């Protein structure tokens, strides 16, 4: 089974000072970002493992990282009966 690791930079979502001890980002829709990743990887026949998605901050910038697995066509077993 083939896999890929992905890292997606969520543009515009950065940490900004809120007060002396807290930094926050502006609101964003995580489902929209995840759906975008799914569509891009689906074009390459890969499926995102949603349980693997991690939210990571690098230099105050948000990244979504995780694993995608190559989609395998299910094997079907057919039964033939004759009369």
pLDDT tops 80 at residue 36: yes
* Long-range CB contacts (within 8 A, 24+) of 44-50: 44/4, 45/70, 45/71, 46/4, 46/70, 46/71, 47/71, 48/6
Tell me the pLDDT tens digit for each residue of 7-33. Answer: 999 999 999 999 999 999 999 999 999
In a domain, 82, yes or no: no
Q: What's this model's pTM, rounded to 2 decimal places?
A: 0.78
Mean pLDDT along residues 39-52: 96
In a domain, 76, yes or no: no
Contact 14, 25 (CB under 8 A): yes
Range of 39's domain? Answer: 3-25+34-70
Contact 30, 53 (CB under 8 A): no
In a domain, 19, yes or no: yes
In a domain, 46, yes or no: yes
Q: Please give the tally of structural domains in the chain.
A: 1
């Amino acid at each position: 089974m083939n896999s890929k690791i992905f890292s997606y930079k969520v543009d515009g979502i950065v940490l900004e000072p809120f007060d002396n001890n807290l930094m926050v980002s502006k609101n964003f829709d995580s489902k929209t970002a995840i759906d975008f990743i799914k569509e891009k990887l689906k074009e390459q026949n890969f499926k995102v493992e949603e349980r693997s998605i991690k939210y990571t901050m690098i230099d105050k910038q948000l990244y979504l990282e995780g694993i995608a697995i190559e989609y395998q066509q299910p094997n079907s077993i057919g039964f033939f009966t004759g009369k």
